[in-house]
Amino acid sequence: MSDREKVISLLDSVPDYKMGYLLAFVQGLTVDEEADDAFCGKMFEDYLNDPDPHKHDTISVEDLAAELGVKLP
C-alpha cells in the first residue's frame, strides 16, 4: 500500500472535529514555497522603502492593552 493510500484509508478514522486541523496542515504542505518567499520578500522591501517616519515606533503590550481596553492577567 502506498503512503497516499495509507493516508486516504486513515481519513475515515479522523473525527469530524479534527478535520479542520488536518485540512490546515495539508494545505500548508501544498503551499508554493517560491511564491511564499517572493511575497514575503516583497513585503520586506515595501517596509524598507516605506517613507513613514513612524514605522519604527513601538508600543508596550501594557499600553496597547490599555488602549484597546483589554485587562492583562
CA distances to 37, 54, 71 from 47, in Å: 15, 12, 31
Name the amino acid, one letter, at 24: A
For the cut 90, the answer to whether the pLDDT of residue 5 exceeds it is yes
Mean pLDDT of 11-38: 91
Question: Which pLDDT score, from 0 to 100, does residue 25 have?
Answer: 92
Per-residue pLDDT tens digits for 36-72: 899 999 999 999 999 999 999 999 999 999 999 999 9
Looking at residue 31, the DSSP 8-state letter turns out to be S
Query: Domain spans of the chain?
Result: 3-68
The pTM of this model reads 0.45
Question: Which pLDDT score, from 0 to 100, does residue 30 have?
Answer: 86
Distance CA 8, CA 2 (A): 10
Q: How many C-beta atoms surround the C-beta of residue 65 within 10 A? A: 13
**Do residues 47 and 55 lie in contact, with contact meaning Cβ atoms separated by under 8 Å?**
yes
Question: Which pLDDT score, from 0 to 100, does residue 60 have?
Answer: 96
